Amino acid sequence: MSKSKSFLASLSAFLLTLIASPAFADYALNFPEPVSPLTSQMYDLHMLTTKIATIIMVIVISIVTYAILKFRKSKGAEADQNFHKSAFGTWSWILVPIIVLGIDLTIAGSATDALKQVEDYSQKNDVTVKVIGSQWKWTYEYMDDDIRVVSNMLSKEEAGDNYLRAVDNPLVLPVNKRIRFLHTASDVLHAWWVPQIVYKKDSIPGYINETWTIIEKEGTYRGQCAEICGTGHAFMPIVVEAVSQDKYDAWLSEKKIAMASAAAEASADKTWTMAELMSRGEQVYNTNCVACHQITGEGVPGVFPALKGGQIATGPVADHLSIVMNGSTKNPVMAAWAGALNDLELAALITYERNAWGNNTGDVVQPTDIKSARK
Amino acid sequence: MSAVIHEDHHHEGPPAGFKRWLYSTNHKDIGTMYLIFALVMLFIGGGMAMIIRAELFMPGVQIVNPDLYNNLLTDHALIMIFGMVMPAAAGMANWMIPMMIGAPDMALPRMNNMSFWLLPAAAILLLSSLLVQFIPGTGVPINTGWTLYPPLSVQTGMGMDLLIFSVHLLGISSIMASINIVTTILNMRAPGMPLMKMPLFVWAWLFTGLLLIIVMPVLAGGVTMLLFDRHFGTSFFDAAGGGDPVLFQHLFWFFGHPEVYVLLLPSIGVLGLVIPTFSRKPLFGYKPLVFFMGFLFALGLVVWAHHQYTIGMSLGATMYFMIGTILISIPVGLMLFNFIFTMWRGSMTFETPMLFAIAIILMFSFAGVTGVMLAVVPADLQYHDTYFVVAHFHYALIPGAVFGLYAGVFYWLPKWTGHMYNEKLGKIFFWWTTLSFNLTFFPQHFSGLAGMPRRIVDYNIQYIEFNQISSIGGFLFGLSHLLFLYIIIKTVKGGEKAADKPWEGAQIGTPGLEWTLPSPPPFHSFTTPPQIK
Amino acid sequence: MSTAEQNYFIPEPSRWPAVAVVGLFFLVLGFALWMNGVSLGPVSTGIGLLVIIYLFFGWFGDVIDESLTSKYNHDVDRSFRQGMFWFITSEVSFFATFFGCLFYFRNISLPWLGGEGQLGVSNILWEGFTYTWPLINLPDVTNYTQLIEPMGAGGIPAYNTIILLSSGVTVTWAHWGLKKGNRAQLVWGLIATIALGMLFFALQAYEYYHAYAELGLTLNSGIYGSTFYMLTGFHGFHVTMGTIMLMVICARSMKGHFTAENHFAFEGVAWYWHFVDVVWLGLYLFVYWL
């Protein structure tokens, strides 16, 4: 059997096994089902170009296979030295580019409509969410309702099979409403992407990119950060919970009450005990700080400084406060937390860091201390 | 001096010892050094790929930590592009172009040597940028991917500075090599060799050289701005100071997209020689192929932003880049059309270079059609930064560039060494690489569509099958290169004596001056210009 | 002088390329270490610089010897010219990059931050920011220094424009002298060009001092300062290189190295000088004036 023939034979056998293999039966070979008008259009475009691509590949493979089989020296084929001077050799250089151009324009033309819709920001939006990417979590700000949700990855134990695709606080959105996303980032580039409901636009620090969607079906939709953002890039999943308008309204009012009481608690001039601050601090730490400084407080040598026994957490309280609130002057990865956390959270966090992991400095920082440090 | 090696030259043979290589002004020796360097880098960059595939074999973080993983995939790309494909193509240019156009050597032989020796220096800096992360206190490793996008690249530590200066040295090297090659082609052709008679490989390198001269300084400018943002307080890529991180992406891809053609064109040039040789008939369209290469050259300079559809451009700009990008299918499609109809009504035999050439036609067509899919903006807003893209560009670059270089190696190995390689081993190598390559990268299209982003160290369990197939394919693909190394060493050491013109069809449709020289050619060839019939 | 060689000149094995690589390697390694506060950095940079100075004397010396012993025939001369042409092409591309960035900031990204165009909604992140050029009020000045006053187009920049333009004239006048075989005109033309180049350099240095000390215009004063120094700085660096090259050429002219037919080195430097001139015109127009 000829080599080239066996090449094609094995290639097609490979493709067939791949597609037919039961191992893949559970998992999609294609995009997950789109559930918004725009992602549906994108899906259709994808299927159109896939079909064109398949047809072109079939044609190319057929011609090449025929040529390989027919025009081989071992079969006594003589080379036609003047083939390129034939009529085909002259006219094909005009005809083939025209055909290719025709296919190109067909594809480009069919994409224009979807593209115009992607870029159509003139319609009225029912919900506007500002999506802020940070290393390595997502923050959602509901612009009309003044609600803020911080979304962190769930650990392997909590998430099970959805590990790397599951979060503690999902983004809750109503179905059948036009939703506008404003994408930005607090530190480096990120990209917020949930393939079933919304395509991606980069989150650029200092700039705002827009996307929009109308979710057509209730459900849980998952995605991941799609733009490399450093150490934790693989660990900032996205979950959107699409619910009916009623459930959404209920969730909104519940959230508002919770936020108001948290704010009231934080701003009250109460003096907290160390034990209270420690338990709250641990929560804050595990949500916001573990990605770099680790659960053990030991950090990553040479990259993220250790808090356990380190200069920051055992040195002067004022320096500790300053670096947590304003970020590091030396290492840009250490963000400023003054805006993201309230007085109570900051006080609890710093108290926790100064007393956990055997640091035991005995220092207690109160929300009032933070309030005065903010001035 | 001692023995006269060849009658038509008046210099001595090669000088002895290290000076032959370190001080060389000989295009063949410099070409050999380029090729050896590329081979070494192939194994270093390939080793990194093996670590990456091993890490991805199972979900979870097992072998390397996330930063080291990101650093390895950054360096894998940089080494394969700047350390492997470009030097290998430059090595072939050095060896073959003077012989093909009947020149005594490259136009500026000393500068030629400097272009080469800058590469090991740059490689030392590049590898130290990887290793410096193991020294405490040197900051965050380079975890940005080869695109080095700020602000992430402003966060990284000392490794990034070493990398930036490594890129500067690589840039100087490429610009000097390109100036040299372009000057050689335009000024050193033997009488009777007009531009439109040059072998296609020479044409391909003329366009490649011009591209590098234009785009390399842009990359140098971009990384210099990065350096200033990192250390001297400028605000090019920081919105707070009035800058824009996206500007770096424009600069990078203004370089990066033509760079893709820098990698592809030399291989297209090799195909332009290999396919007529083994089809025993002239190219179906020599002039059109030159024209479409020029078209690709021009188009390549103005479509860069299709790598960044997601940054938020205006509708007009997006439409322009989309249509420009889709139009690339015309020159590329016509090149492949040309090769297919060069085989048509030919008298084909299937030696290793020809097998690679046919595989390239098929697999590069595939990369081309997925390329058109990616060019469609609304669909790309879904494909962007997923494994679908990873699969696409590996299909473009491994068949398009690397396999073309393999074809060139097997095609010219008899000329370079004076020995025939072992055809049977060559064919085994072909089948092994081609099949394992497809096994590695074909499944990645599906993991991408299923939603797996690129550059992640750990993935959800739903992607496990595709990744395991990919990893197994990857290991086989990596392993096949040991056979490649064995074939080359065996051929250099000995073997059947190669004729001056080992391929029956080698001179069909080209002047074929290189085949009029003995195999291996004398140390100095064509010291007086040859007569072209 | 003997007649030029028939064959294309292929130099014997030469140590200079390797020396150049060693010099460059230590230079940039030193930079990278220096920027990260490693004490060996400046040492490495120093070694690199010394090696490069040694290299210039050695490599240029060899080339001058070869040129004087008529090793270069017409083809070699043309290779040099073409090589120089492509080198200047790459330099054009390098400066075009920085000009492109300037246009991008002024016409695309800063208007976005100011609330216009595709990403205009970004303005909500920067309350109260309005776009003006020169950009005096930054979106957020916390990490930057406040610019007091932008650089005007009159005064020193205008004088510098006249100085560089006249230096273009003097170098051409020197070239005419060379073609006529008038060595005095050649040498005096070059000396005038060098003097103008040095005057330009001195004025530019004073302008930088003035900008830092009085205008608050620094590398750290936001995008206006960044682009200003990046463009004028790289231009100034090229003027310095050009002046040094002119000095070499001037010394060689005094020794009578050039003839009316054979003077590639002179022409290469003259091209380079004209290129630097043209870049300045662009700078004056887009950085200082408009």
Q: Which residues in chain C touch residue B165, judged by CB atoms under 8 angstroms apart?
A: 28-29, 31-32
Q: Looking at CA atoms only, how far is residue A225 from chain C in angstroms? A: 21
User: Is B531 a domain residue?
Assistant: no
CB C139 within 8 A of CB B242: yes
d(CA B392, CA B377): 16
C258 DSSP assignment? -
Find the residue in B nearest to C17 (Cα).
Answer: B114
Residues of chain C with CATH 1.20.120.80: 84-289
Q: Give Cα separations from A365 to A338, A346, C174 (angstroms).
A: 15, 9, 77
Asked if C14's CB is within 8 angstroms of B110's CB, the reply is yes
Asked if C119's CB is within 8 angstroms of A208's CB, the reply is yes
Q: Which residues in chain B touch residue A77, judged by CB atoms under 8 angstroms apart?
A: 345-348
Amino acid identity of C87? F
Q: Which phi and psi (to 5°) does residue A151 adopt?
A: -120, 115
Find the residue in A nearest to B505 (Cα).
Answer: A79
> By the CB < 8 Å criterion, does A203 face chain C?
no
The arithmetic mean of pLDDT across residues A195-206, rounded, is 95
Q: Looking at CA atoms only, how far is residue C108 from chain A in angstroms? A: 12
Q: Which residues in chain A touch residue B455, judged by CB atoms under 8 angstroms apart?
A: 228, 233
Top-confidence residue, A104 or A367: A104
| CATH, residue B423 | 1.20.210.10
Asked if B333's CB is within 8 angstroms of A96's CB, the reply is yes
Find the residue in B nearest to A54 (Cα).
Answer: B369
CB B355 within 8 A of CB B430: yes
Q: What is the pLDDT of residue C236?
A: 95
Average pLDDT across chain C, whole number: 92
Confidence of residue B303 (pLDDT cuts 50, 70, 90): very high
- Name the residue among B164, B169, B233 with its Cβ closest to that of C220: B233
Tell me: the pLDDT tens digits for A32-71?
Answer: 999 999 999 999 999 999 999 999 999 999 999 999 999 9
Average pLDDT across chain A, whole number: 86
- Name the residue among A72, A111, A300 with its Cβ closest to that of B376: A111
> By the CB < 8 Å criterion, does A101 face chain B?
yes
d(CA B290, CA A204): 41
Sheet holding A237-243, edge to edge: A171-174, A237-243, A219-224
User: In this structure, what token pair is assigned to residue A68?
Assistant: 């390989």
Asked if A184's CB is within 8 angstroms of C121's CB, the reply is no
Distance of CA B379 to the CA centre of its chain: 28
Look at residue B6 and tell me whether its pLDDT is greater than 60: no
Asked if B244's CB is within 8 angstroms of A302's CB, the reply is no
Q: Give Cα separations from A327 to A138, A306, A331, A353 (angstroms).
A: 19, 16, 8, 16
Asked if B346's CB is within 8 angstroms of A79's CB, the reply is yes
Find the residue in C nearest to B233 (Cα).
Answer: C220
The arithmetic mean of pLDDT across residues C215-221, rounded, is 92
Look at residue C177 and tell me whether its pLDDT is greater than 80: yes
d(CA A16, CA A10): 10
Q: Is B324 exposed, middle or buried (0-12, 13-18, 19+ CB in 10 A)?
A: middle
d(CA B289, CA A56): 21
Look at residue A22 and tell me whether its pLDDT is greater than 70: no
Tell me: the pLDDT tens digits for C42-61?
Answer: 999 999 999 999 999 999 99
User: Is B48 a domain residue?
Assistant: yes
Residues of chain C with CATH 1.10.287.70: 1-72
d(CA C161, CA B516): 58
Confidence of residue A303 (pLDDT cuts 50, 70, 90): low
Find the residue in B nearest to A329 (Cα).
Answer: B155
Q: Which residues in chain C touch residue A118, judged by CB atoms under 8 angstroms apart?
A: none
Look at residue A15 and tell me whether its pLDDT is greater than 70: no
User: In this structure, what token pair is assigned to residue C83?
Assistant: 């090589």
Q: What is the pLDDT of residue B137?
A: 81
Tell me: the pLDDT tens digits for B471-522?
Answer: 999 999 999 999 999 999 999 998 899 999 999 999 888 888 999 999 899 9
Q: What is the pLDDT of residue C14?
A: 92
Tell me: the pLDDT tens digits for C249-286?
Answer: 999 999 989 988 888 999 999 999 999 999 999 999 99
ipTM (interface predicted TM):
0.95
- Name the residue among B70, B327, B383 with its Cβ closest to that of A228: B70
Buried-state track B39-73, b at ≥16 Cβ within 10 A, e below 16: bebbbbbbebbbbbbebbbbbeeeebbbbbbbbbb
Q: What is the pLDDT of residue C142?
A: 86
Top-confidence residue, C165 or A287: C165
Amino acid identity of B286? Y
Tell me: the pLDDT tens digits for B426-460?
Answer: 999 999 999 999 999 999 999 999 999 999 999 99
Asked if C79's CB is within 8 angstroms of B242's CB, the reply is no
Nearest to C79 by CA among B214, B114, B205, B105: B105
Confidence of residue A309 (pLDDT cuts 50, 70, 90): confident
Q: Which residues in chain C touch residue B37, judged by CB atoms under 8 angstroms apart?
A: none
CB B70 within 8 A of CB B143: yes
- Name the residue among C17, C104, C110 with its Cβ closest to that of B113: C17
- Name the residue among B382, B442, B451 with its Cβ closest to that of A199: B382
Q: What is the pLDDT of residue B8?
A: 44
Average pLDDT across chain B, whole number: 93
Query: In the CATH hierarchy, which fold is given to the domain comprising C84-289?
Result: Four Helix Bundle (Hemerythrin (Met), subunit A) (1.20.120)
- Name the residue among B23, B118, B312 with its Cβ closest to that of C13: B23
The arithmetic mean of pLDDT across residues B248-256, rounded, is 97
Q: Which domain holds residue B109?
A: 27-512
Asked if C75's CB is within 8 angstroms of B527's CB, the reply is no
Confidence of residue A21 (pLDDT cuts 50, 70, 90): very low
Which residues between 160 and 199 in chain A have a beta carbon less than 8 angstroms from any beta carbon of chain C?
A: 182, 184
Q: B449: number of CA atoms within 13 Å, CB side?
A: 23
Residue A170: Cβ within 10 Å count = 20
Look at residue A7 and tell me whether its pLDDT is greater than 90: no
Q: What is the pLDDT of residue B2?
A: 36
Q: Show which subunits contact C, needing at least 3 CB pairs below 8 angstroms.
A: A, B
Query: In the CATH hierarchy, which fold is given to the domain comprising C1-72?
Result: Helix Hairpins (1.10.287)
Q: What is the pLDDT of residue B316?
A: 92
- The tally of domains found in chain B comes to 1
Q: What is the pLDDT of residue A372?
A: 82
Confidence of residue C2 (pLDDT cuts 50, 70, 90): very low
Q: What is the pLDDT of residue A360?
A: 84
Q: What is the pLDDT of residue A27?
A: 52
Q: Show which subunits contact B, needing at least 3 CB pairs below 8 angstroms.
A: A, C
Look at residue A277 and tell me whether its pLDDT is greater than 60: yes
- Name the residue among B20, B23, B233 with its Cβ closest to that of C15: B23
Poorest-confidence range of A63-77, A157-171, A298-312, B36-50?
A298-312
Confidence of residue A353 (pLDDT cuts 50, 70, 90): confident
Q: Which residues in chain A touch residue B322, judged by CB atoms under 8 angstroms apart?
A: 108, 111, 115
CA-based end-to-end distance of chain B: 34
d(CA B120, CA C276): 32
Residue of A183, A187, A208 to mutate, testing the C interface (most C Cβ within 10 Å of its Cβ): A208
Find the residue in C nearest to A121 (Cα).
Answer: C118
Asked if A111's CB is within 8 angstroms of B322's CB, the reply is yes
Q: What is the pLDDT of residue B533?
A: 66
Amino acid identity of C201? F
The arithmetic mean of pLDDT across residues B94-105, rounded, is 95
User: Percentage of residues in chain B with pLDDT exceeding 70?
Assistant: 98
Asked if B465's CB is within 8 angstroms of A53's CB, the reply is no
Asked if A68's CB is within 8 angstroms of B343's CB, the reply is yes
Look at residue B213 and tell me whether its pLDDT is greater than 90: yes
Tell me: the pLDDT tens digits for C84-122?
Answer: 999 999 999 999 999 999 999 999 999 999 999 889 999
Nearest to B85 by CA among B432, B366, B396: B396
CA-based end-to-end distance of chain A: 84
Find the residue in B nearest to A328 (Cα).
Answer: B155
Confidence of residue B17 (pLDDT cuts 50, 70, 90): confident
Look at residue B98 and tell me whether its pLDDT is greater than 50: yes
Tell me: the pLDDT tens digits for A175-200?
Answer: 999 999 999 999 999 999 999 999 99
Q: Which residues in chain A touch residue C122, judged by CB atoms under 8 angstroms apart?
A: 184, 206-208
The arithmetic mean of pLDDT across residues A139-163, rounded, is 90
Biggest CA pair distance of chain A: 98
List residues of chain C with CB under 8 Å from any CB of chain A.
109, 112-113, 119, 121-122, 124-126, 139
User: Is B150 a domain residue?
Assistant: yes
Asked if B279's CB is within 8 angstroms of A201's CB, the reply is no
Look at residue A3 and tell me whether its pLDDT is greater than 50: no
Asked if A206's CB is within 8 angstroms of C122's CB, the reply is yes
Q: Which residues in chain B touch residue C22, judged by CB atoms under 8 angstroms apart?
A: 121
Asked if C13's CB is within 8 angstroms of B15's CB, the reply is yes
User: Percentage of residues in chain C with pLDDT exceeding 70?
Assistant: 98
Q: Which residues in chain C touch residue B186, judged by CB atoms under 8 angstroms apart?
A: 82
Top-confidence residue, A275 or B42: B42
Find the residue in C nearest to B103 (Cα).
Answer: C8
Look at residue A9 and tell me whether its pLDDT is greater than 70: no
Q: What is the pLDDT of residue A98?
A: 95
Q: What is the pLDDT of residue A13?
A: 52
The arithmetic mean of pLDDT across residues C188-204, rounded, is 96
Q: Looking at CA atoms only, how far is residue A129 from chain C in angstroms? A: 13
CB pairs under 8 A between A and B: 329
Residue of C5, C9, C19, C25 to mutate, testing the B interface (most B Cβ within 10 Å of its Cβ): C25
Residue A330: Cβ within 10 Å count = 8
Which residue pairs from A355-362 have beta carbons closer than 8 angstroms and sit at least 24 positions apart in sequence?
A: A355/A274, A355/A278, A356/A278, A356/A281, A356/A282, A356/A285, A356/A297, A356/A308, A357/A296, A357/A297, A357/A298, A357/A307, A357/A308, A357/A309, A358/A308, A358/A309, A359/A297, A359/A307, A359/A308, A359/A309, A359/A313, A359/A314, A361/A313, A361/A314
Q: Give Cα separations from B527 to B102, B523, C70 (angstroms).
A: 9, 10, 18
Amino acid identity of A125? N
